């Protein structure tokens, strides 16, 4: 305990500490010399390629993958081309970028996954230098070629190569460069001597860092912080310039008194930290620079590599693995010598309490008097989170727990969650797992991602334990781990299909939300179709089964599964697939057994393939639909003959369907068309396409009474409608004499109110009045009202003693002008009401 501060070094206002994380488990014969090294952030794996330049087939370089603690995970001889750069993706895959721009991807265990190329320009000019970077869009690669042009891919899982614009006047390689992510775009920042440029998709713009000291001739090294917010530049004058990455603000400038460019320079800045700081490394020399003039210097015993992290820097050498970081505020408050912070006092109090000394009470009182006990507990809990040493964690948590006893309303979650987090962290930090995450990193990466990382390492039992311990919802937790396990299991070639299917189903039976189709896919990829089908049977989501079933050529099964899912798009997909795969006869037969698919296919054909739909109806002997099909087709024909012949086919089909009405109606339609054509030819009236009614109307209005008469008889038009037609036509022509003659020709089947109405419509009230006497008593009131004769209407209504009709008349009367009438009606209404 007393030695907690032994590793601390002051820098300005803050302290920095360098603590050992692991003693490395690897045995490297020649250290890290002549090695390409890539260590993934968040305590990820380390890849080493020894002597990458070696090409002779007899002595090929060796590629090795280790955990952060130096436990070997894979080792194999590198047989491909010359590797320029190694890097890790966010999903723990290793990227090997070759001289010719080919990128090979391997998993953690050295299994080859896939490869892709960075484009022709890179092939031609070769890779000069490459960088792997991470952004919200995934893992990206940036390359500078021998022609000093940059090519960028922002996300290697969705590869889109972008060639950045040329840098004007760039003759040789840039002195240094870095990738930035700004405004949702990845850009390259490069220095050529003293000139700084930002390259984005479309432009190259020159920039100047504010306040760079004047004696500088060249920027020789640069680095961007983990969050892309800050930038550090190292100059040939030995100065480090620190500022914001948008180059708007300068934070500090420190003289290092070293003029050689550092081998590596990285940011060492924790979120919410006191000051910006950068770590630089030369051969055997490490230097931390912050805001003040002073620096911290360390001597390195061996060749090392710096790994920037969110909240510090890891230093890996052939024997040790250390973490260098700014001491977190809570730890500083508690452990700083002679600190009187509440947390420090609480820790003291608890120590005295353990010793059974009454001093404990004194310390406690001191904190409580300032009412800082809550703050004290919080400090202890937070500090525990930042300590790697388990004993220190325990001491701090015990002190916190002790302090909590004297508080009534301190929320328990904070303490509980920290205990839980630490338990998980200690488990993954253990030497055998080798993921040295800090608490800050863990919170940033989330438990979900941690579980993923464990799964990539095939540490299934630990992953499941953690999920259960943290009570992660099964769907996101245990089930997901088990799915990965199963995907791994189906690749075990030595076991039989039955055994694997059984093992998988037994283990996964209880787990909710398992995607068996994914597992089956994996099995199919490994060439195990039978196993895949067996596994698919466990899949509860029928929709998910379909694509794989199709791929495995089990189309019939796919069709019924698609229908089962209810997803019509899926049914369509299978149907189109079947259509291409089968001969027409079989295809139709298959559809016939699946009515849902059949009707969907019909819909499809209706819009896309008219001929097919006819065949479909034909096959099903659906004469009714065939009839309608021909009717529809007939309207598309321009020539009358063609149209008539289609209609004839429709008549035949309707007859076969025993739809007598439709057959007759269609026959009538043909007769009408022929009639219209004949009349058009003879009389020159435009008739074709009109309805029977409209044809009659036209004929009557131009006075072609004879053909009208003939149509009326031939088509057995009901008298009522014919009378309506006739009187409307006459009124439209204002042929009042003819109308009167017609009214008298025989008894009207529609009564005489229509006569009144058609006259009124043409504003001829006097003609209208002629027919009122002939209107039936029931309609008299209406008739009078139609011609505007209120008196008459009132008369008729009172005579009929109909309350409703009296009211109707009343509603038309104006109280001012029709006073007398209103009174009469009111009186009549009350007498009718009495009866």
Closest Cα partner for 165 from 142, 149, 186?
149
Give min distance, CB of 185 to other proteins, in A.
7
Q: Which of 635, 741, 776, 799 binds other proteins (CB under 8 A)?
A: 635
Residue 750 binds other proteins (CB under 8 A): yes
CB of 382 to other proteins, least distance (A): 30
CB 512 within 8 A of CB 479: yes
Taking CB under 8 A as the criterion, the residue among 379, 666, 748, 802 binding other proteins is 666
Supply the minimum distance, in Å, between the C-beta of residue 181 and other proteins: 12
Write down the least CB distance from residue 669 to other proteins, Å: 4
Bridge partner list, 166: none
Burial class (CB in 10 A: 0-12, 13-18, 19+), 537: exposed
Query: Which 498-557 residues touch other proteins, going by CB under 8 A?
Result: 511-513, 540-542
**End-to-end CA separation in angstroms for the chain:** 112
How many whole angstroms from its chain centre is CA 372? Answer: 47
Q: Does 573 bind other proteins (CB under 8 A)?
A: yes
Toward other proteins, which CB reaches closer, 306 or 519? 519
81 phi-psi bin (left φ>0, alpha ψ -120 to 50, beta other): beta
Q: Which of 364, 672, 743, 783 binds other proteins (CB under 8 A)?
A: 672
Contact 74, 110 (CB under 8 A): yes
Q: Is 747 in the site for other proteins (CB under 8 A)?
A: no
* Residues of span 442-481 touching other proteins by CB under 8 A: 473-475, 479
Instruction: Count CB atoms within 10 A of the CB of residue 437.
Output: 22
* 3 state DSSP class of 24: coil
Mapping DSSP onto H, E and C, the string for 180-212 reads: EEECCEEEEEEEECCEEEEECCCCEEEECCCCC
Question: DSSP letters along 58-84, please?
Answer: GG--EEEEE-TT--EEEEEE--SS-EE
Burial (CB < 10 A; 0-12, 13-18, 19+), residue 644, is: middle
Nearest to 602 by CA among 582, 586, 626: 626
Secondary structure class of 325 (helix, strand, coil) = strand
Shortest CB 484 distance to other proteins, Å: 16
The count of residues interacting with other proteins (CB under 8 A) is 64
Residues in 171-190 at the binding interface with other proteins, rule: CB under 8 A: 184-185
Q: Rounded distance, CA 739 to CA 770, Å?
A: 11
Q: Which stretch binds other proteins (CB under 8 A): 221-229, 255-263, 265-273, 561-569?
A: 561-569
CA distance 170 to 163: 16
Binding mask 284-303 for other proteins (x = CB under 8 A): --------------------
Nearer to other proteins, 721 or 733 (CB): 721
Min. distance of Cβ 591 from other proteins in angstroms?
13
Q: Residue 789, interface with other proteins (CB under 8 A)?
A: no
**Rounded-to-integer distance, Cα 411 and Cα 381, Å:** 12
Which lies closer to other proteins via its Cβ, residue 461 or residue 595? 595
| Binding residue for other proteins, selected from 72, 446, 693, 831, defined by CB under 8 A | 693
Answer for the pair 450, 428: CB distance below 8 angstroms, yes or no: yes
Write down the number of H helices and E strands in the chain. 32, 29
Residue 784 Cβ vs other proteins, minimum distance, rounded to whole Å: 14
In angstroms, the CA 575 to CA 568 distance is: 10
Starting at the earlier edge strand, list the strands of the sheet with 161-163: 127-135, 138-145, 150-153, 161-163
Please state, in angstroms and as integers, the Cα–Cα distance from residue 332 to each residue in 285, 290, 347, 621, following that order: 26, 18, 13, 89
Is 587 an interacting residue with respect to other proteins (CB under 8 A)?
Answer: no
Cβ 478 to other proteins shortest distance, Å: 10
State in angstroms the smallest separation of the CB of 632 from other proteins.
Answer: 5
The answer to the question of residue 628 lying near other proteins (CB under 8 A) is yes
Q: Which of residues 643, 769, 780, 829 is near other proteins by CB under 8 A?
A: 643
Give me the residue label for tokens 């009132």: 794
Binding segment (CB under 8 A) for other proteins, from list 98-106, 334-342, 364-372, 566-574: 566-574
Q: Does 121 bind other proteins (CB under 8 A)?
A: no
Window 589-618: residues binding other proteins (CB under 8 A): 595-596, 599-600, 602-604, 607-608
- Choose between 283 and 510: whose C-beta lies nearer to other proteins: 510
Q: CA–CA separation, 143 vs 164, rounded Å?
A: 10
- Minimum distance from residue 576 beta carbon to other proteins (Å): 7
Cβ 567 to other proteins shortest distance, Å: 6
Which residues, listed in sequence order, are joined to residue 131 by a DSSP beta bridge? 142
Q: How far apart, in whole angstroms, are the C-alpha atoms of residue 725 and residue 497?
A: 82
Structure token digits, residue 665: 């109606």
The nearer residue to other proteins, 107 or 637, going by C-beta atoms, is 637
Nearer to other proteins, 334 or 753 (CB): 753
Instruction: Give the bridge partners for 98, in sequence order.
Output: 83
By the rule CB under 8 A, 568 interacts with other proteins:
yes
| Residue closer to other proteins, measured from CB, 50 or 480 | 480
* Residue 542 beta carbon to other proteins: minimum distance, rounded to whole angstroms: 8
| 788 counts as binding other proteins under rule CB under 8 A | no
Rule CB under 8 A: is residue 662 a binding residue for other proteins? yes
In the complex, the smallest distance separating the C-beta of residue 760 from other proteins, rounded to whole angstroms, is 12
Q: Taking CB under 8 A as the rule, does residue 715 contact other proteins?
A: yes
Kindly list the residues in this chain that would bind other proteins in the complex (CB under 8 A). 184-185, 473-475, 479, 511-513, 540-542, 564-570, 572-573, 576, 595-596, 599-600, 602-604, 607-608, 624, 628, 631-632, 635-638, 640, 643, 661-662, 665-666, 668-669, 672, 688-693, 715, 717-718, 720-721, 724-725, 728, 750, 754
């Amino acid at each position: 305990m007393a030695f907690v501060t032994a590793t601390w070094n002051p820098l300005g206002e803050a302290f920095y500490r360098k603590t050992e994380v692991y003693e490395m488990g690897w045995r490297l014969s020649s250290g890290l010399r002549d090695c390409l090294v890539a260590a993934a952030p968040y305590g990820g794996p380390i890849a080493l390629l020894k002597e990458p330049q070696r090409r002779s087939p007899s002595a090929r370089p060796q590629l090795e993958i280790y955990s952060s603690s130096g436990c070997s995970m894979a080792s194999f001889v590198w047989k491909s081309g010359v590797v320029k750069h190694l890097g890790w993706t966010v999903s723990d895959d290793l990227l090997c970028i070759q001289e010719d721009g080919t990128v090979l991807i391997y998993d953690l265990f050295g299994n080859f996954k896939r490869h892709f190329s960075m484009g022709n320009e890179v092939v031609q000019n070769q890779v000069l230098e490459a960088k792997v970077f991470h952004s919200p869009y995934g893992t990206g690669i940036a390359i500078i070629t021998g022609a000093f042009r940059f090519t960028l891919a922002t996300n290697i899982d969705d590869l889109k190569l972008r060639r950045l614009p040329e840098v004007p006047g760039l003759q040789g390689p840039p002195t240094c460069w870095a990738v930035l992510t700004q405004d949702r775009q990845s850009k390259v920042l490069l220095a050529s001597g003293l000139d700084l440029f930002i390259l984005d998709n479309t432009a190259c713009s020159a920039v100047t860092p504010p306040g760079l000291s004047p004696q500088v001739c060249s920027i020789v090294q640069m680095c961007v912080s983990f969050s892309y917010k800050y930038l550090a530049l190292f100059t040939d004058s030995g100065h480090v310039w620190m500022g914001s990455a948008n180059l708007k603000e300068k934070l500090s400038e420190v003289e290092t008194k070293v003029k050689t460019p550092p081998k590596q320079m990285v940011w060492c800045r924790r979120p919410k930290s006191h000051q910006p700081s950068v770590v630089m490394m030369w051969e055997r020399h490490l230097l931390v620079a912050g805001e003040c003039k002073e620096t911290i210097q360390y001597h390195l015993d061996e060749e090392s590599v710096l790994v920037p992290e969110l909240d510090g820097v890891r230093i890996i050498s052939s024997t040790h693995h250390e973490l260098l970081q700014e001491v977190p505020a809570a730890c500083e408050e508690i452990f700083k010598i002679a600190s009187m912070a509440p947390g420090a006092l609480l820790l003291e109090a608890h120590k005295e309490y353990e010793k059974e000394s009454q001093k404990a009470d004194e310390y406690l009182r001191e904190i409580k008097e300032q009412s800082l006990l809550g703050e004290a507990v919080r400090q202890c809990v937070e500090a525990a989170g930042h300590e790697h040493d388990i004993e220190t964690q325990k001491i701090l948590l015990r002190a916190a727990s002790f302090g909590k006893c004297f508080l009534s309303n301190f929320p328990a979650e904070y303490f509980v969650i920290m205990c839980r987090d630490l338990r998980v962290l200690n488990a993954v930090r253990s030497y055998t797992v080798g993921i040295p995450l800090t608490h800050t990193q863990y919170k940033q990466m989330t438990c979900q991602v941690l579980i993923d990382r464990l799964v990539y390492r095939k540490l299934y039992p630990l992953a499941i334990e953690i999920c259960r311990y943290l009570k992660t919802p099964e769907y996101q937790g245990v089930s997901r781990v088990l799915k990965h396990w199963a995907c791994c299991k189906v690749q075990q070639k030595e076991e039989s299909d039955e055994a694997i299917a059984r093992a998988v189903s037994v283990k996964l039976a209880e787990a909710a939300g398992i995607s068996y189709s994914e597992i089956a896919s994996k099995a199919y990829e490994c060439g195990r179709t039978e196993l895949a089908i067996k596994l698919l049977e466990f899949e509860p989501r029928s929709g998910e089964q379909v694509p794989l079933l199709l791929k495995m050529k089990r189309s019939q099964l796919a069709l019924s599964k698609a229908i089962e899912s209810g997803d019509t798009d899926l049914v369509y997909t299978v149907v189109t697939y079947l259509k291409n795969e089968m001969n027409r006869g079989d295809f139709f037969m298959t559809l016939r057994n699946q009515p849902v698919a059949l009707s969907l296919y019909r819909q499809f054909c209706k819009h896309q393939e008219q001929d097919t739909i006819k065949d479909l109806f034909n096959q099903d002997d659906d004469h009714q639909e065939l009839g309608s099909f021909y009717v529809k087709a007939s309207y598309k024909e321009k020539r009358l003959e063609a149209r008539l012949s289609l209609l004839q086919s429709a008549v035949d089909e309707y007859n076969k369907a025993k739809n007598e009405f439709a057959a007759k109606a269609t026959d009538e339609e043909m007769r009408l068309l022929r009639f219209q054509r004949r009349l058009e030819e003879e009389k020159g009236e435009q008739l074709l396409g009109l309805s029977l009614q409209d044809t009659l109307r036209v004929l009557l209005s131009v006075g072609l009474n004879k053909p009208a008469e003939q149509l009326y008889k031939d088509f057995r038009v009901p008298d009522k409608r014919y009378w309506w037609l006739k009187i409307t036509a006459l009124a439209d022509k204002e042929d009042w004499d003819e109308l009167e003659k017609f009214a008298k020709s025989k008894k009207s089947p529609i009564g005489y109110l229509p006569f009144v109405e058609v006259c009124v419509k043409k504003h001829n009230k006097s003609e209208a009045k002629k027919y009122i006497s002939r209107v039936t008593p029931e309609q008299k009131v209406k008739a009078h009202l139609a011609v505007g004769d209120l008196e008459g209407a009132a008369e008729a209504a009172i005579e009929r003693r109909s309350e409703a009709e009296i009211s109707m008349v009343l509603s038309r009367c104006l109280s001012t002008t029709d006073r007398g009438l209103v009174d009469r009606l009111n009186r009549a209404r009350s007498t009718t009401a009495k009866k």
